[in-house]
Amino acid sequence: MKKIAILGSTGSIGTQTLEVVRENKDIEVLGLAAGKNIELLEQQIREFHPVCVAVWSEGKAEELKVKIADTDTRVVTGMEGLIEIATLEKAEILVTAIVGMIGLRPTIAAIQAGKDIALANKETMVTAGHLIMPMAKEYNVRILPVDSEHSAIFQSLQGNKGNPIHKILLTASGGPFRGKKEEDLLNIRVEDALKHPNWSMGQKITIDSSTMVNKGLEVIEAKWLFDVNVDQIQVVVQPQSVIHSMVEYEDGAVMAQLGTPDMKLPIQYALYYPERRYLPGDRLDFWEMGKLDFEKPDMETFYGLKLAYKAGREGGSLPTVLNAANELAVSKFLKREVKYLEIMEIIEDCMNAHKNIANPSLEQILQTEAETYERIESRR
Ligand SMILES: NC(=O)C1=CN([C@@H]2O[C@H](COP(=O)(O)OP(=O)(O)OC[C@H]3O[C@@H](n4cnc5c(N)ncnc54)[C@H](OP(=O)(O)O)[C@@H]3O)[C@@H](O)[C@H]2O)C=CC1
Ligand SMILES: CC(=O)[C@@H](O)[C@H](O)COP(=O)(O)O
Ligand SMILES: [Mn+2]
């Protein structure tokens, strides 16, 4: 039995990870962590019998303890709780399905405890790739990408050890507003931005896809995961989301991974790498598909992507500012406290105001996050 723990078990990636576990029957779930959804967490405890679960607040933890008093599962809380789940003694793989850079400290703790990381939580790599990648090497742990594009790149690299990457072709759907210009985006409502054309995902990443900031975060994620510079990464809009990304080699050969928009494939690939297992579900039908389209991204309208290239190129603490500003701006947009286009404006303002710190430590990253939040709160 493979032993895993999951941070963010009640979310989109977390629940799909548990579907993969349910289907395969040879994975033991030792730990789960969730934020607020204790109803779903209770069901997961009853089905998967983890030794320990974490919930964020003391209040939710007390409610959960009453609900599961008849089980042997322990309940822990807060950041210490997340770290406890991330470092559970017998777990081999930590699935980081939690949203946001709150995943940073538990991911680092898991690496230091020798756990392989099935990495969905891209915010961790964006803000601290310069710490995570050397640390993974030092502790001899694998960072197995779950993000669909990075899994596709990882899959396209198999069998090519020693052959340098010439270019990464990072595909993007273009989001629900592909083809729109600034004047069309003035009055975008939350409901409009939450309609992703191809993927069903959590709210934060769905908004990020609509602004193309998701693609910007993925450019920086790819830079660290595959040790390339950001100018070797070309974003290609592939509106059908059939090609999940590609690698171009020195000789011009391009390797791609294609599939239906189903995150269970990259999740399962990360959990069983290098083995490929049967996965139930829809398959591509090339006779029915007709054609695949390709476009250049509109980085003037969706300038969050351009800002991410800048952050990725300059490095240091600037990617943390991009990420933290985006996290708070998106959460404010979801609460209808700022307008859609303000998301990109806030990111740009925060990046312009920041004095970059080269090679920031974990403390400096967290400090930069806090300062970025303060800057946004004191805006206007
Ligand atoms: N969804 C997808 O298809 C993809 C997602 N990703 C990445 O994966 C990550 C997760 O995304 P997604 O699954 O969509 O997000 P969701 O919003 O669906 O899920 C987020 C999870 O994190 C938990 N969580 C949030 N805050 C806390 C906290 N303070 N303490 C403990 N748990 C917390 C939530 O718990 P609760 O709901 O109980 O509050 C939930 O389980 C993101 O980094 C995203 O960018 C990458 C590629 C594809
Ligand atoms: C499923 C996944 O990996 C998402 O990150 C997805 O790629 C979002 O799509 P776009 O950002 O390309 O719209
Ligand atoms: Mn992705």
Distance (angstroms) between ligand 2 centre and the Cα of 265 equals: 14
Reading the chain (380 residues) residue by residue, the pLDDT tens digits are 999 999 999 999 999 999 999 999 999 999 999 999 999 999 999 999 999 999 999 999 999 999 999 999 999 999 999 999 999 999 999 999 999 999 999 999 999 999 999 999 999 999 999 999 999 999 999 999 999 999 999 999 999 999 999 999 999 999 999 999 999 999 999 999 999 999 999 999 999 999 999 999 999 999 999 999 999 999 999 999 999 999 999 999 999 999 999 999 999 999 999 999 999 999 999 999 999 999 999 999 999 999 999 999 999 999 999 999 999 999 999 999 999 999 999 999 999 999 999 999 999 999 999 999 999 999 86
Q: Which ligand gives the minimal distance to the CA of 95? A: 1
Alpha carbons 273 and 132: distance in angstroms, whole number: 20
Contact 102, 373 (CB under 8 A): no
Q: Binding site annotation covers 130?
A: no
Q: Which of 6, 98, 143, 241 gets mutated to test ligand 1 (max ligand atoms within 8 A of its CB)?
A: 98
Distance (angstroms) between ligand 3 centre and the Cα of 147 equals: 5
Alpha carbons 222 and 204: distance in angstroms, whole number: 20
Which ligand 2 atom lies nearest to the CA of residue 244? 7
47: which residues sit within 8 A by CB, 6+ positions away? 18, 22
Q: Binding site annotation covers 37?
A: yes
Q: Binding site annotation covers 78?
A: no
Contact 91, 4 (CB under 8 A): yes
Environment of ion ligand 3 (residues, CB < 5 A):
147-149
What's residue 277's pLDDT?
A: 98
β-strand 116-119 against 93-96: which pairing, if any?
parallel
User: What order of strands is seen across the sheet that includes strand 165-172?
Assistant: 233-237, 165-172, 243-249, 254-258
CB distance 175 to ligand 2 below 6 Å = yes
CB distance 173 to ligand 2 below 6 Å = yes
Determine if residue 361 is left, alpha or beta; phi over 0 gives left, psi from -120 to 50 gives alpha, anything else beta: beta
What's residue 11's pLDDT?
A: 98
What's residue 63's pLDDT?
A: 98
What's residue 356's pLDDT?
A: 98
Q: Which ligand gives the minimal distance to the CA of 198? A: 2
CB distance 121 to ligand 2 below 6 Å = no
Exposed, middle or buried by CB within 10 Å (0-12, 13-18, 19+), for 310?
middle
What's residue 139's pLDDT?
A: 98
Residue 305 in tokens: 């992507």
